[in-house]
Every structure is written in C-alpha cells, then in structure tokens.
Amino acid sequence: MDYQLDLNESDFLNNYWQKRPVILKRGFKNFIDPISPDELAGLAMESEVDSRLVSQQDGKWQVSHGPFESYDHLGEHNWSLLVQAVNHWHEPCAALMRPFRFLPDWRIDDLMISFSVPGGGVGPHLDQYDVFIIQGTGRRRWRVGDKTPLKQHCPHPDLLQVEPFDAIIDEEMEPGDILYIPPGFPHEGYSLENALNYSVGFRAPSGRELISGFADFVLARELGSRRYNDPDIAMRDCPAAILPQELDGIRQLMLEVIDQPEQFRHWFGEFISQSRHELDIAPPEPPYQPDEIYDALQQGDKLTRLGGLRVLKIGEAVFINGEQLESVHPAALSALADKQTLSLRDFGDALDDPAFLAQLAGLVNSGYWFFNEE
C-alpha cells in the first residue's frame, strides 16, 4: 500500500515542526490499517519484539512487559497494548512511515503501534521526541496541553505521568487523522472504542548520548593520544590551584579530539545509522554468489530493504547499520540509501564491476536487502 500524506510540507515545517502541536485532519484520506489488532497481539507474543500492556482500574495503574502468552485475562475496558518498532517486523506497517520522509531519515526512529479498548491509554505524559500519532481504526479522544512546567510522577515504576493539564487541543480523532506533537507537550489519548494508533517517532540524541558514543569511538580507534603539555607553566601563590588557562588548555585538548572533521563524520555516520531496536535479520541460506545477484536483477527481480534498517549518507559516504561502506560507485550506493526497492537500472554500470557486485552480495547475504517474491 502506498500511503499519501495530504500535507503542505513546507507550511508544516515553518509553522509546526518543533514549535506547536497540530491535528492534520484526514492527513491520510481513506485510511486503511496496515495491520489488524490480532496480528499486533501476535507480534507481542514474539520474544524479539518489545511490547507492553498498560491497564488502569480506579486510578491504579499496571504495566506488564511482553512477550505475552495470552490475552485471556483482559477485560473489555481500560487497557492498551503497545508494540515498539513494528516497522522492523511488518512490511505493510513500514510503508506507513515512508510519507514522513519529507523529514530526514536520520531523525526518524520507528513505528510504535497501540491497540486500546474503551478507556485504554497510558495516561497523561510527556515525550522527549517529536511524534506523529495516526488514528487507525476506531475513535480516540486526544488531549494536548501547552508546553509548561508540569510535575511528573510514577503511578507505577514503569510509567511516568504528568499532573492534569489544560488542553490546547481536545479532539476525537477518526481514522486517517494525524496528531503531531513536538517534544515536551503533555498529551493523553483516551479510547472511546477499540482503537489502533500508529506513532511515527523521531530521535534526537542528547549531549550525553553523543559524548558517550563518541568516547566509544575514540577508544576503539585509539584517538586522542596527545597529552596535556605546559611549556609556559605559570608560577602561582597557591600550589593547590588549577588556573583558568590550565582548565582552558584541558578543554582545548578535549575539543581537539572532536574537532577532526573526517573522524567526526565517520563517527556520527556509524553512530546514527545504528538501529535502537532489534532488526528482523534472516540471512539467505545458502548465501548468494555475486553472479546470482547479477542474474536475478537482469531477470527483473527487485531488491527490498529490510524494515528498520538505517541507511544514511554524509557526502558520498554511506553508512549502513553502524558501518561505513567504501565504494567507487557513489551513485549506486546513493540509490541504496534513497530507495526502498531497487531494480537493475538503479545500479547503473556499477553492476559490471565485480567489486561492487561482491559488496552487494555481502549486503544481501547479511540479510539487509532481499529479493521480494512478487
């Protein structure tokens, strides 16, 4: 299914993105759910899939984590099943994220799907990331408050909520409606009927994550070997004092490690192309020989990218799932980064180069791209 987003994208970026929440009424016209509640419940029974059940009775909240063995104990009210990164496991769900590629791939994270019965929801809360919440089947009332300081509390150790807030958006969403919420705006969804919601989530690294990720890279590559030196060391009254210029020197030394553009690009590409959730990797058995890949493409077979695989570009460098790919065929690599499915002509004459073909076979044999059986 090809989902078409009915949105003036530049208007959205100028007026709403990271600024204020908005309902995109019928953002998807004639919306058809890419998954059924039963299929979603089935996914939450798989050990690789990250899921949770949140329920509430008279203000008492409960959370349990998947994989689930059965749902027989659940009633008809006040619970919600939430499944993370469904785009990694279910191709039709992955298709629902593609219309959001007017925002950069590196900022897009994954698709979380919830199924809620009447009264179901996770309660009022804040998220650290932008999200588009698409209403699927059923109606659900969504309230969003302004970004003001709110007290947070944990009604259950696995649930962080905020105190009640005044709504700036309060709407019953219908299938195909989309609610965009920037980080930090309190919100809550309260189901009126059995309802499916699809959350296209974004990612925005914090300084802490970046420093920690960069430190790993520095250690792995043994960078930053230069040591502090002080040929112009100053006399001081107090031997215990660290002087401001010395602190500056230390900071300068550290910044120098970051301030190497080539290394920095390489690190960030590796860092940001890693997926935060497990991938459904199933390497082909037996592996493909490069000439079999060539023949299949010549016959018109198409290569499809594994759902959730992150493929990003910095200049001509392409990063796939945490690794930089070196190639003398930037156009072909670029096609791998840009397109969901690829056919013969997307690769141009790169396929005539045995080195590129071997590289492509490596990617297929890693389970990153596969021939679809259409």
The residues binding Co ion (CB under 5 A) are: 127
Between 54 and 318, whose beta carbon lies closer to ligand SIN? 54
Establish if 21 lies at the interface with ligand SIN (CB under 6 A). Answer: no
Between 84 and 199, whose beta carbon lies closer to ligand SIN? 199
**What residue 196 binds from Co ion, ligand SIN, none (CB within 5 to 8 A, per partner kind)?**
none
Q: Residue 196 CB, nearest distance to ligand SIN (Å)?
A: 8
Stretch that binds ligand SIN, among 121-129, 156-164, 211-219, 272-280 (CB under 6 A): 121-129
Binding mask 156-195 toward ligand SIN (x if CB under 6 A, else -) reads -------------------------------x-x------
What's the chain look like in SS3?
CCCCCCCCHHHHHHHCCCCCCEEECCCCCCCCCCCCHHHHHHHCCCCCCCEEEEEEECCEEEEEECCCCCCCCCCCCCEEEEECCHHHCCHHHHHCCHHHHHCCHHHEEEEEEEEECCCCCCCCECCCCCEEEEECCCCEEEEEECCCCCCEEEEECCEEEECCCCEEEEEEECCCCEEEECCCCCEEEEECCCEEEEEEEECCCCHHHHHHHHHHHHHHCCCCCCCCCCCCCCCCCCCCCCCHHHHHHHHHHHHHHHCCHHHHHHHHHHHHCCCCCCCCCCCCCCCCCHHHHHHHHHCCCCEEECCCCCEEEECCEEEECCEEECCCCHHHHHHHHHCCEECHHHHHHHHHCHHHHHHHHHHHHCCCEEECCC
Between 21 and 290, whose beta carbon lies closer to Co ion? 21
Establish if 122 lies at the interface with ligand SIN (CB under 6 A). Answer: yes
Of 99, 121, 124, 307, the one binding ligand SIN by CB under 6 A: 121
Q: Residue 259 CB, nearest distance to ligand SIN (Å)?
A: 38
**What residue 189 binds from Co ion, ligand SIN, none (CB within 5 to 8 A, per partner kind)?**
ligand SIN
Establish if 327 lies at the interface with ligand SIN (CB under 6 A). Answer: no
Q: Residue 179 CB, nearest distance to ligand SIN (Å)?
A: 9
Establish if 127 lies at the interface with ligand SIN (CB under 6 A). Answer: yes
